[in-house]
Chains A and B, each alone.
Chain A
């Protein structure tokens, strides 16, 4: 006999859900049977299908479904009374088991605080550049360059590109050139302040919505300058800056033509001043600024932004840009590049470009945030799942009862999910407290100069936070909810449902092992970084940092200061320098005609400097005292001579080095390699030149033991020379700060590790409390039979000990490899991790774990058997 198509029957049943449709199905079957005698089977089946669909779409089924959902026995209704009951029961059971509730809430709060950090960070990144009115129509050009050695993705473009675009696409939109090489000491009325900003085309303020507080948008004065409000306040105090003249070092005088409102934190551009691009062209042609505005191979710091009409076709533009690129680069050996048009919305996250104009995030921040959140949050969820399923016995009767009076699986599931969501919402409050405590710390850890990061809670963040809490609740609650919904009512009411602690249930064991694996990883991270940090601080950098006081000159004549300080007996020598070695990083210059055209660090020093820092010469000698012919010479390090291809340092002495097209210097001496940058980088080439115009710091070598007294003496002398406050710092302190590559990593790891370990220990604690509670009778009997306390403790502890060992065994190789990779990135001179940190981490983990476990088992083992056996 042929049956109706099963799928159609199923579809019909599924669609009708709980509605009574048996008679309809009967009708369908009867028609089908009749049809079988009249037509071929396939046709009858087709007919059946058509009828099913006909019924599904008909009023009759709709009506029956509607009726059924308001039926007394319906389970699909939205019954608020039931939800109230769930909520009440949830709160009751939470308050009944205070210890476990508190443990869960602490754990989830800790885990969720990291999630909140991540959410606010993402929410903030989402608002990037949203204050620009033209945001949707602003684009920038990014480049892919290939010099046969390396391919790079750059946010910058060659400077001459803009002109060609304007020629070829006139009227197409606006082109804005920006060059970020505006860096100078601004001088006004004896006050000096460092200034950094952009050279930008005249239409800058028309295209970008940086608000001009006073002044004129047009930027017609090539030597006009627009400064931000806070910079103006610093330089001019109360005075109205408009029309005042600032001297920008060798760049010359600039008149303030406008004051810009402070740059919003969510801007990808950041500047203190804007100067018209015209000025850059003039300064470059007179040699006051080193800029290659006609060079197609020089990308650094040159940006091209576009404002296009809203219907612009960017792929056409990209194609035409690449035609330009082909044309321009076809005659250049060893270099090729392509361009791409990038929307402004894509700048903060989508680019992963280097040579950025300001802050950029890159997609890794998403990945990092997400994985950190999960690493911390998941163990907390595991705790919850573990404890709840372990405590199933106490809820089994309730669930059994619910099922007997008609509760179905779905309802029980819903009830327990709801209960978990209640816990996670309470934890959200706790998470917020932790979050407010740590956010400023994190802010400074995540970004250097963290002005561009905002961790404020906005209503939308709050909404995200609540959503996140609900999600967390579902995540944590899903295992126990499934577990509970499967409880068999008969077994539960007969009280045979077993409590399952570390017995047959492998899930709890697995979760505990995962927690220990993670905890070990974090502990090892902390130990390894502290170890590496210690090595790094004690690392011989190759120069003397002790007892040197760096004093900012602040406009004081170097020789006057030297003369007055030399009089002091407690001072051995005074040297001058343009930068503080290893501290100011903006001293890079670009040497042309060097084989792989690397960046070279450049400093200006005087004749005493090398002695003060105990730098050893391998060949040649240092500058002569106070001789202006020194300016013709240069001192280099060994790395530099290698790079230039000299066979030996001796050969290099006396040879010529081109600094740029107009300057050629002779090598006076070669110093041994030393670490003037932090250890994450290999030693780079550095050159030292002599020019007293560039001196900014006096380096005073103090020989006296009375440091405080000496500083007072120096201040006395300083006051005679300058009205400004003396700014002095010890070199070693500054070096420690600048070389401190580990402190942030250690801090982050320490914090995360602390959270992870706390969560794991809490989870462990609750499992131990529960399992020992269940075994009090057994312990009582054992003690009556004569078992000593130590044996009982061991018996109760050994299961957990085993799990800890398994967790560590899994974690050791993974962590070891992971941290070896991280360490080698952080420290180019690292010698690897070694065995000691592994042993220390293992000891810490076992110690923490054992303290947690034994604190409970010992208590139970010591309990009085008469008490424990009486409890029945």
Chain B
């Protein structure tokens, strides 16, 4: 398997997957921030996006001009097939480890 998926990378990939074709910088940032309750720096996010793109896990394209945000274009991200494989491999690994683990799984919010 090519490349190792870091925790943050995995988080970003999954978020992109959740957005479908509507994933762009600020949207990803705010989603992760609200779910994980931690603040992400924009520099770190873009660096991770760049690295993921270099690893060919995601692809990006520029959207059309928008009326919001000063008419500036958005860069949208989408998972590639490789990205999906990487995610599923990572999930398999976790599932396997979970199934072998002796922790009683309880819902986190109980």
Contacts and interface: CB of A to CB of B under 8 A. Distances in A.
A22 B43 contact: no
Interface stretch (A56-64, A560-568, A626-634, A765-773): A56-64
Interface stretch (A27-35, A316-324, A446-454, A661-669): A27-35
Interface in B66-107: 66, 68-70, 72-75
Contact of B50 (A29, A57, A63): A63
B55 interface: no
Contact of A26 (B29, B44, B70): B70
6 contacts: A26-B69, A26-B72, A29-B72, A30-B69, A54-B43, A63-B54
Nearest to A60: B46
A51 B72 contact: no
A24 interface: yes
A51 B41 contact: yes
Q: Nearest 5 CB-CB pairs, A to B?
A: A26-B72, A58-B43, A54-B43, A23-B75, A60-B46
Contact of A59 (B42, B50, B66, B70): B50
Contact of A55 (B30, B42, B62, B66): B42
Interface string A6-32: 000000000000000011111111110
Nearest to A9: B70
Nearest to A20: B62
B49 A23 contact: no
Contacts of A51: 41-43
Interface of A: 22-31, 33-34, 51, 54-55, 57-61, 63-64
A58 B44 contact: yes
What is the predominant secondary structure among interface residues of chain A facing chain B?
helix
A27 B73 CA distance: 9
Interface centre among B30, B43, B54 (most CB of A within 10 A): B43
A12 to B, nearest CB: 12
Interface residue SS majority, chain B: helix
A54 B69 contact: no
A591 B55 CA distance: 96
Interface in B24-39: 24-26, 29-30
B96 to A, nearest CB: 32
A23 B50 contact: no
Most chain A beta carbons < 10 A, residue from B29, B66, B72:
B72
A36 to B, nearest CB: 13
B74 to A, nearest CB: 6
Nearest to A58: B43
Contacts of A31: 26, 29, 42
A323 B96 CA distance: 91
Nearest to B71: A26
Nearest to A54: B43
B55 to A, nearest CB: 13
Report the interface size class on chain B. 20 to 34
Contacts of B26: 27, 30-31, 34
Given A27-B46, A60-B46, 9 more contacts: A22-B62, A23-B75, A25-B70, A27-B26, A30-B26, A30-B68, A31-B42, A59-B51, A60-B50
A844 to B, nearest CB: 70
B72 A25 contact: yes
Contact of B42 (A22, A28, A34, A63): A28
Contacts, number: 70
A30 B69 CA distance: 5
Contact of A23 (B30, B41, B47, B73): B73
A30 B30 CA distance: 11
Contacts of B66: 26
Contacts of B51: 59
A26 B50 contact: no
A24 B75 CA distance: 8
B50 A24 contact: no
B50 A27 contact: no
Q: Pick from A22, A27, A51 the residue with the most CB of B within 10 Å.
A: A27
Given A31-B26, A33-B69, A59-B50, A54 B75 contact: no
Nearest to B76: A23
Nearest to A55: B43
A57 B44 CA distance: 10
A466 to B, nearest CB: 44
B68 to A, nearest CB: 7
A59 B47 contact: yes
A23 B74 contact: yes
Contacts of B41: 51, 54
A37 to B, nearest CB: 13
A697 B66 CA distance: 106
A24 B70 CA distance: 12
Contacts of A30: 26, 68-69
B62 A23 contact: yes
B24 A23 contact: yes
B40 to A, nearest CB: 11
A22 B46 contact: no
A23 B62 CA distance: 8
A21 B69 CA distance: 14
B12 to A, nearest CB: 13
Contacts of A60: 43, 46-47, 49-50
Contacts of A59: 47, 50-51
B32 to A, nearest CB: 14
B70 A27 contact: no
A54 B45 CA distance: 10
A26 B54 CA distance: 22
Contacts of A27: 24-26, 29, 42, 46, 69
Nearest to A53: B43
A26 B74 CA distance: 7
Given A23-B62, A24-B25, A59-B51, A29 B43 contact: no
A58 B41 CA distance: 10
A61 B50 CA distance: 9
A26 B65 CA distance: 10
A59 B54 CA distance: 12
Contacts of A61: 46
A28 B70 CA distance: 11
Contacts of A28: 42
A148 to B, nearest CB: 74
B27 to A, nearest CB: 9
Contacts of A22: 62, 72-73
The interface centre, meaning the residue of A25, A55, A61 with most chain B CB atoms within 10 A of its CB, is A55
B51 to A, nearest CB: 7
A322 to B, nearest CB: 61
Contacts of B47: 58-60
Contacts of A54: 41-44
A29 B24 contact: no
B79 to A, nearest CB: 18
Contacts of B72: 22-23, 25-26, 29
Nearest to A50: B41
B26 to A, nearest CB: 5
A702 B107 CA distance: 135
Contacts of B43: 51, 54-55, 57-58, 60
B101 to A, nearest CB: 35
Contacts of A33: 68-69
